[in-house]
Every structure is written in structure tokens, then in C-alpha cells.
């Protein structure tokens, strides 16, 4: 007898599935290309689920449920996908269409929330009471987990810290950059990977790969870009600590590879955190690019799926 939890990560170019056992060991993991349009994508998910269950020896009449992590989130009023960077997903009733096509129950969640859940349950934040999981890459996302349960909020936008204004701004940070959301000064415009790259090599550069090595080798622009980045990231983390007081903040995405840079942040928190000693841990994720798909599987943590 095994407990099997199925999770799917819906990416822009691929669809990945994982099957976890009771304690989170991976039983099977595979991926297929994302067709890039709505109906073929749903059919690809159905076929991937069926093939995975067959490979695991699950009888065809046992329709195991699954979780899925998606770009964007589900609107709590309409049930439609919103805010997805894969724009052809927006305004689609994914949570209703998937059960109809696959014949399985499903829980749909934002991919950053899945990341946070994975790291809180059996990743870098395991054993902590309140975990704030963040992904900083081409954009920014976040998820909040309390006692192994996601808190998504009234509008399903909890922990979207990328669209909070940069706190305690410096004179030189004005005028604030415009954001695609229609506001100015959003954290994402200062902290995403392309923002760091642009501050190093100029407008239009989108990759900051190698910036730490460049700074270590005397690149003055790289050093200045990282100094500004650390200061801004510390302010962003202090805002979260003052608001939520988490036990841990777990980093994912490209910024989690800047280990020397992240190590500088804790020393700067005390200026802005309203407590004499800040004990919030700043951690690098444990599961890497597996966190999203693992978190999707953990959406069914409380459901026993014995076969």
C-alpha cells in the first residue's frame, strides 16, 4: 500500500508531473512540452496523468486527484485565471475544465504559492511556524504558509510582494520606475533579475549572470549594482518582517544563486526592523526547480490516497 500525491507544474514551455509518497520521496517525475494553447494543454495534462498512473501501477478506474501550480492565480469571484504571464491562460476556467477533461479532482494554485508550500513542508523552511517563500527571477512572486497551510487571502493575492512599493526610498531612487501593473516604484522593478542586470550593464540587459564573479574581480559597476541591490532587498525583507514576523524567508528563482549577496542582507535588517534583535532566518531553497511541482503535490497533504 502506498500513499501517492500527484503534482503538476505548468510552465511556459513544459508541463511537469511528480508523484510523491507519504513522506515526500519522489516516486516518478517526468515532463512533456506545453503545446502553448489552452485546449491542447488540458488534453496534454490528461494524457500525462493517465500515463503516469499507468506507470505507477494504478488501476484505470482509480482516478487519483492532483494539484497544479500555474502562472497567475484563480479569481475568487469568477473562478477564472488572472495575472498569468502566459496570457492565453487568462480568463480561462482552468479549475472547472481540468476535472471535466481528466475525470479527476484538482486543486489549482499559483506557482509561487506552490514553491512556498513545498519549502515549508519538507524544504528549507520545514519545522517553522510561519514561512514566507519568495521567487525572484524575471519577475517576483511570493507565498505565505502558516503551520503547513497556505494563506491566500480574500482576493487570492496574499504575498504578492512584487507589487508593494519599495519602502524607505532614497532620494536617488526617484523618479520611481513604472511597472506593468500600472503603478510606480513596485519592488519587482527594483529587485527582479532584469532590474539587477540593467543596473550593472545598462538598460535592456536582462541577465545578471556572473555579476558576483565580476564584482569579486574588481568590476566597479558590478559592485555598485550589488551594493544597491542588497540595500533594497534588505528593506523589502524588513517590510515583510514588520508586517508578518515570519520565522523564515525562503528564496527561490535566480536570486537564490547569489549566495554571497544574500549573505549580506541580515546585517542590514536592524535599521528597519522594529525589534532589538531580528531572528528571522533568510534561507536558500532546498528543492530548487523541483519546489513548484512538489508544492502542487502537497496541495493534497491532508488527503489519504491509498492504493
179 with 88, same domain? no
**DSSP 8-class letter at 3:** B
Residues 6+ apart with CB under 8 A from 3: 21, 22, 304, 305, 306
How many angstroms from the chain centroid is the CA of residue 37?
Answer: 23
Is residue 303 assigned to a domain?
no
What local confidence, expressed as pLDDT, does residue 86 receive? 84
57 with 149, same domain? no
CB atoms within 10 A of CB 156: 18
Query: pTM to 2 decimals?
Result: 0.95
Nearest to 201 by CA among 180, 219, 174, 182: 219
**DSSP 8-class letter at 42:** H
Containing domain of residue 255, as a range? Answer: 124-285
What local confidence, expressed as pLDDT, does residue 152 receive? 94
In 38-140, which ranges are continuous DSSP H helix? 38-55, 94-102, 111-122
What local confidence, expressed as pLDDT, does residue 302 receive? 52
Can you tell me the distance from the alpha carbon of 171 to that of 134, in angstroms, rounded to the nearest whole number?
27
106 with 214, same domain? no
69 with 209, same domain? no
CATH number at residue 270: 3.30.420.40
pLDDT tens string, the chain, 307 residues long: the values are 468 999 999 998 999 999 999 999 999 999 999 999 999 999 999 999 999 999 999 999 999 999 999 998 888 889 999 988 788 999 999 999 999 999 999 999 999 999 999 999 999 999 999 999 999 999 999 999 999 999 999 988 999 999 999 999 999 999 999 998 899 999 999 999 999 999 999 999 999 999 999 999 999 999 999 999 999 999 999 999 999 999 999 999 999 999 999 999 999 999 999 999 999 999 999 999 999 999 999 998 654 454 4
Amino acid at each position: 500500500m502506498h500513499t501517492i500525491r500527484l503534482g503538476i507544474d505548468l510552465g511556459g514551455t513544459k508541463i511537469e508531473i511528480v508523484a510523491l509518497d507519504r513522506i515526500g520521496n519522489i516516486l516518478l517525475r517526468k515532463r512533456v512540452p506545453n503545446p502553448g494553447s489552452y485546449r491542447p494543454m488540458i488534453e496534454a495534462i490528461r494524457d500525462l496523468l493517465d500515463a503516469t498512473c499507468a506507470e505507477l501501477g494504478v488501476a484505470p478506474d482509480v482516478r487519483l486527484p492532483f494539484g497544479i501550480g500555474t502562472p497567475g492565480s484563480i479569481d475568487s469571484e469568477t473562478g477564472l485565471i488572472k495575472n498569468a504571464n502566459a496570457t492565453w491562460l487568462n480568463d480561462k476556467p482552468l479549475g472547472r475544465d481540468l476535472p471535466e477533461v481528466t475525470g479527476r479532482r484538482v486543486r489549482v494554485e499559483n506557482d509561487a504559492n506552490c514553491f512556498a508550500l513545498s519549502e515549508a513542508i519538507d524544504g528549507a523552511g520545514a519545522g517553522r511556524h510561519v514561512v514566507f517563500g519568495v521567487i525572484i527571477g524575471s519577475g517576483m512572486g511570493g507565498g505565505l504558509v502558516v503551520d503547513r497551510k497556505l494563506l491566500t487571502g480574500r482576493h487570492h493575492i496574499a504575498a504578492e510582494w512584487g507589487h508593494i512599493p519599495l519602502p524607505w526610498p532614497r532620494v536617488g531612487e526617484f523618479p520611481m520606475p513604472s511597472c506593468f501593473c500600472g503603478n510606480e516604484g513596485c519592488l519587482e522593478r527594483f529587485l527582479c533579475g532584469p532590474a539587477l542586470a540593467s543596473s550593472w550593464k545598462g538598460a535592456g540587459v536582462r541577465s545578471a549572470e556572473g555579476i558576483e564573479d565580476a564584482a569579486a574581480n574588481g568590476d566597479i559597476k558590478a559592485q555598485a549594482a550589488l551594493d544597491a541591490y542588497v540595500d533594497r532587498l534588505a528593506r523589502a525583507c524588513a517590510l515583510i518582517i514588520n508586517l508578518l514576523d515570519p520565522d523564515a524567508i525562503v528564496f527561490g528563482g535566480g536570486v537564490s544563486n547569489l549566495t554571497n549577496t544574500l549573505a549580506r542582507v541580515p546585517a542590514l535588517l536592524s535599521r528597519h526592523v522594529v525589534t532589538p534583535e531580528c531572528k528571522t532566518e533568510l534561507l536558500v531553497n532546498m528543492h530548487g526547480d523541483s519546489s513548484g511541482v512538489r508544492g502542487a503535490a502537497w496541495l493534497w497533504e491532508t488527503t489519504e490516497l491509498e492504493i
